[in-house]
């Protein structure tokens, strides 16, 4: 079985056949940086990071483009409220998003374009649309003419044009031919940033930005466009309309992740229930938060509760416990060991992470039995399978990301703890248990937990 994914545009599971054999191109709608990220924002990053890793593991050369919307009505409004320039708000929050993606183990995108760096491409796209009769200038603004695309507009979101409300993206609807026409470019307003265009100074509309950036880096036709299900309309609908009306094939598959909710409410800052990433990684470790976000199927909604978060953390710790104990017995893991077929089938079936993780837990159970029997051959095989599966999911506890390798102080910590454990071992051998306990207590006070095992003392950072 090859990879099959649910395509929102056809409302069906489709076999993934890329534009170019052996290559996969993904565009993910990234952050609109008016505020720092909560876990609802970062869920999308984790879900599509798993997709990217699986495509890479499946042999594809992946180009992953995740944009940053760094100019927008919301950014301008927040900047005005704070009394700072718009770019201060955008830069501050983009850094917060980058930190959050990195903290939760998301691989860096191949390219991460900012909207403000692609105004020339936007101007070219608008010129193409006007030349084809699909857009028009009006009072310094530029609008997409939905009636010119009426036979196809609404196909992604399964809506009829006659049932759609006004776009509500301008203060003066009288400048539009049709209230449902959406803004490609917004003319100059006092106090707002502007860029020069043939229609006068102004700034880009949200939808135009993504079409211009996606096609610049991935070509006029590319493989997968992703984002949250809340972006299906109007954002993604408008991207398709303006791109295809200009003559581009645009995305061949549309993938949308579900929302993260608290009770019946969609998570948002306005509700006062946004759970920011720095706060969340005080409740659980970053790898455990990644497990929590990756474990449900990407298209399902997640109803957040702290109880469910802690249950996910405990489930991950069971996996981690086997990997840690097995690694004390098996020092060389076969990185080329084949993945269990059930795991492969699960991810090939619309990125079925719940079923894939069920395979991981089953292998871990078998591994624990093999450890108790002292069957090193079985332990070696099952450890390799477990780590290779976790690598695909970005959850391998022995990877540098989660072990802290590469940080400036990690070699120093390793060396100091090793010395302390040797001193504790010597104290135990001479039956000075008070001294041994004192060393363990000092390590605990420093945030290091020591566990005695048949293979010697094992330490880890305290949870």
Q: For residue range 312-327, list pLDDT tens digits in order.
A: 999 999 999 999 999 9
Same domain flag for 245 and 101: yes
Clarify whether residues 96 and 154 are in a common domain. Answer: yes
pLDDT of residue 3: 98
Q: Are residues 241 and 349 in the same domain?
A: no
Average pLDDT over residues 294-307: 96
The answer to the question of residue 441 being in a domain is yes
Residues 346 and 430 in one domain: no
How does pLDDT run across 355-399, given as a tens digit for each residue? 999 999 999 999 999 999 999 999 999 999 999 999 999 999 999
Please identify, among 403, 423, 445, the residue that sits at the C-terminal boundary of a domain. Answer: 403
449 band by pLDDT with thresholds 50, 70 and 90? confident
Average pLDDT on 97-115 reads: 98
pLDDT at 410 over 60: no
Whether residue 385 sits in one domain with residue 428: no
Considering 239, 262, 285, which residue would you say is the last residue of a domain? 262
| Rounded-to-integer distance, Cα 224 and Cα 227, Å | 10
The answer to whether residue 420 scores a pLDDT higher than 90 is: no
Q: Which of 79-93, 145-159, 283-297, 440-454 has the lowest mean pLDDT?
A: 440-454
pLDDT at position 14 is 98
pLDDT of residue 428: 83
Lowest mean pLDDT among 73-82, 234-243, 333-342, 427-436: 427-436
**Which pTM does this prediction carry?**
0.89
**Across 411-420, average pLDDT:** 68
64 and 82 share one domain? yes
For 19-52, write each residue's pLDDT tens digit. 999 999 999 999 999 999 999 999 999 999 999 9
**If you average pLDDT over residues 170-191, what whole number do you get?**
92
Q: Which residues of 342-381 are buried (b: 16+ CB within 10 A; e: fewer)?
A: ebbebbbbbbbbeebbebbeebbebbbebbeeeeeeebbb
**Residue 129 located in a structural domain:** yes
User: Residue 65 pLDDT > 90, yes or no?
Assistant: yes
Q: What is the pLDDT of residues 337-354, one digit of tens each?
A: 899 999 999 999 999 999
Same domain, 205 and 353: no
Q: What pLDDT, on the 0 to 100 scale, is given for residue 264?
A: 66
Quick check: 270 pLDDT over 60? no
* Number of domains making up the chain: 3
* Domain identity same for 139 and 34: yes
Give 245-249 contacts, CB < 8 A, sequence gap 24+.
245/129, 245/132, 245/134, 245/144, 245/148, 245/149, 246/125, 246/128, 246/129, 246/132, 246/134, 246/211, 247/128, 247/132, 247/220, 248/211, 248/215, 248/220, 248/221, 249/220, 249/221
- Domain that residue 446 falls in: 410-461
User: Is there a single domain that holds both residue 414 and residue 399?
Assistant: no
Average pLDDT over residues 210-222: 98
User: Binning pLDDT at 50, 70 and 90, where does residue 288 land?
Assistant: very high
pLDDT at 412: 62
Query: Which pLDDT does position 406 carry in this prediction?
Result: 40
Based on the fold, state whether residues 436 and 388 are members of the same structural domain: no
pLDDT higher than 90, residue 423? no
pLDDT of the residue at 408: 44
Instruction: Please determine, for residue 269, whether its predicted confidence score (pLDDT) is greater than 90.
Output: no
The CA distance from 163 to 154, in Å, is: 10
Residue 72 lies in a domain: yes
Q: Stretch 193-221: mean pLDDT, rounded?
A: 96
287 in a structural domain = no
- Same domain as 429, residue 383: no
């Amino acid at each position: 079985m090859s990879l099959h994914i649910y395509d929102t545009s056809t409302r069906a599971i489709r076999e993934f056949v890329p534009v170019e054999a052996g290559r996969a191109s993904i565009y993910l709608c990234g952050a609109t940086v008016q505020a720092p990220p909560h876990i609802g924002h970062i869920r999308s990053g984790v879900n599509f990071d798993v997709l990217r890793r699986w495509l890479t593991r499946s042999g594809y050369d992946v180009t992953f483009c995740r944009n940053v919307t760094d100019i927008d009505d919301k950014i301008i409004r927040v900047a005005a409220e704070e009394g700072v320039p718009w770019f201060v708000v955008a830069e501050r929050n983009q850094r917060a998003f980058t930190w959050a993606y990195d903290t939760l183990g998301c691989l860096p995108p191949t390219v991460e374009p900012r909207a403000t760096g692609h105004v020339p491409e936007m101007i070219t796209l608008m010129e193409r649309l006007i030349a084809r009769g699909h857009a028009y200038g009006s009072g310094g603004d530029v609008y997409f003419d939905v009636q010119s695309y009426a036979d196809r507009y609404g196909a992604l979101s399964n809506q009829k044009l006659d049932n759609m409300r006004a776009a509500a993206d301008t203060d003066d609807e009288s400048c539009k031919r049709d209230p449902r026409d959406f803004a490609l470019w917004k003319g100059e307003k006092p106090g707002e940033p502007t860029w020069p265009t043939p229609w006068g100074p102004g700034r880009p509309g949200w939808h135009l930005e993504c079409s211009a950036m996606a096609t610049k880096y991935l070509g006029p036709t590319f493989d997968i466009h992703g984002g949250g299900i809340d972006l299906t309309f109007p954002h993604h609908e408008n991207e398709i309309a303006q791109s295809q009306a200009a003559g581009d094939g645009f995305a061949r598959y549309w993938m949308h992740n579900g929302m993260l909710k608290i009770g019946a409410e969609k998570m948002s800052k306005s509700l006062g229930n946004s759970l920011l990433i720095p706060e969340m990684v005080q409740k659980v470790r970053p790898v455990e938060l990644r497990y929590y976000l990756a474990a449900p199927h990407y298209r399902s909604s997640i109803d957040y509760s702290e109880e469910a978060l802690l249950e996910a953390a405990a489930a991950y710790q069971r996996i981690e416990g086997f990997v840690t104990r097995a690694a004390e017995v098996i020092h060389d893991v076969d990185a080329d060991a084949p993945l269990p077929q059930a795991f492969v089938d699960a991810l090939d079936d619309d990125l079925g992470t719940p079923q894939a993780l069920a395979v991981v837990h089953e292998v871990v159970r078998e591994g624990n039995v093999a450890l108790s029997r002292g069957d090193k051959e079985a332990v070696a095989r099952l450890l390799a399978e477990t780590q290779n599966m976790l690598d695909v999911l970005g959850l391998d506890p022995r990877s540098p990301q989660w072990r802290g390798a590469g940080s400036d102080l990690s070699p120093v910590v390793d060396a100091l703890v090793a010395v302390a454990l040797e001193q504790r071992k010597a104290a135990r051998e001479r039956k000075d248990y008070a001294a041994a306990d004192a060393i363990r207590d000092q390590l605990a006070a420093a945030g290091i937990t020591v566990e005695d095992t048949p293979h010697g003392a094992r330490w880890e950072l305290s949870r």
